[in-house]
Amino acid sequence: MSDSTPQPGPADRLARAREVLAAAEAGEPSVDPTPPTTTTRRSADRAPDSRRRDGSDTDVPESVRGDAEADPHDVARQIALRQLTMAPRSRKQLEDKLRQKGCADEVSHVVLDRLEEVGLIDDAAYARMLVRTRQETKGLAPRALSQELRRKGVSDDLIEDALADIASDDQHVRARELVDKRLRTMRGLDPQVQTRRLAGFLARKGYDSNVAFGVIREALADLPEHQRD
């Protein structure tokens, strides 16, 4: 039976983010500082466009949009909170977004430091989440996962920690699952053609040649069409 529990929408998650931040500012320790993001396959990959049909920016709240006297720290804070409600983000991704929106670097640093202090920005948790979801949805190996995390601005030490629990046996199992699935579309091809295509496929997923060719040999040997009578 599927879980019918309704998931919080962006407005609910934004309200929760503001609640966490307000409680932290008031010194109330009872509020759970867990980032108010729903980790779904979609949110881990992409977020909705932040611009309205009329060209205005939904990252900036209406109360300060177009107000030349608006507090720049408040503007930056609202942009960052809205970004966090749409999808998990690394600190570097938020820095880039705030710079894109015209926020001064010194303002962004103050705002992001505070969000990090209260737990709304957590690169270690973000890295673990991305590793888990990319393994489950795309079958990526550590090399590809590491490259993606670096592109998102996660530090090398946090990447190493996030990848530490991936065992070589797990890589073998995931690579074999990928190969078996891809072979269903390659029946009847010459074994050399199958091997070349599968090797390229696994390389793009981040698997090294030793793992890739070992798994490919096993999978091809198990195919009835390649077994001797």
Provide the residue type at 193 as one letter.
V
Q: Please measure the distance between the N-terminal and C-terminal CA atoms of the chain and give it in whole angstroms.
A: 45
Q: DSSP state, 70? A: S
State the virtual CA torsion across 181, 183, 185, 188 in degrees, nearest 10. -160
Q: Compute the distance between CA of residue 175 and CA of residue 172 in angstroms, rounded to an integer.
A: 5
Query: What confidence category does residue 229 fall into, taking pLDDT thresholds of 50, 70 and 90?
Result: low
Find where tokens 């009835």 sit.
Answer: 224
**pLDDT value at residue 21:** 65
Q: What does the pLDDT look like over 95-146, one tens digit per residue? A: 999 999 999 999 999 999 999 999 999 999 999 999 999 998 999 999 999 9
Residue 214 CA from chain centroid, whole number: 29
223: tokens are 């195919």
Q: Compute the distance between CA of residue 87 and CA of residue 92 in angstroms, rounded to an integer.
A: 14
Domain boundaries, the chain: 10-121, 167-229
Q: Find the mean pLDDT for residues 152-181.
A: 93
Contacts made by residues 188-191, CB under 8 angstroms, sequence distance 24+:
188/225, 191/220, 191/226
| Burial environment of residue 227 by CB neighbours within 10 A (0 to 12, 13 to 18, 19 or more) | exposed
Q: What does the pLDDT look like over 3-53, one tens digit per residue? A: 545 555 445 555 666 666 666 555 554 444 444 443 444 444 444 455 555
What is the model's pTM? 0.70
Specify the higher pLDDT residue, 41 or 158. Answer: 158
3-class SS at 186? coil
Q: Compute the distance between CA of residue 59 and CA of residue 139 in angstroms, rounded to an integer.
A: 33
Contact present, 141 and 206 (Cβ < 8 Å): yes
CA-based torsion, 106, 107, 113, 114: positive or negative: positive
Angular region, 20: left φ>0, alpha ψ -120 to 50, beta rest = alpha
Q: Compute the distance between CA of residue 116 and CA of residue 62 in angstroms, rounded to an integer.
A: 25
6-23 in b/e form (b: 16+ CB < 10 A) is: eeeeeeebbebbeebbeb
Q: Compute the distance between CA of residue 155 and CA of residue 122 in angstroms, rounded to an integer.
A: 12
156: tokens are 């090398």
Q: Compute the distance between CA of residue 202 and CA of residue 210 in angstroms, rounded to an integer.
A: 11
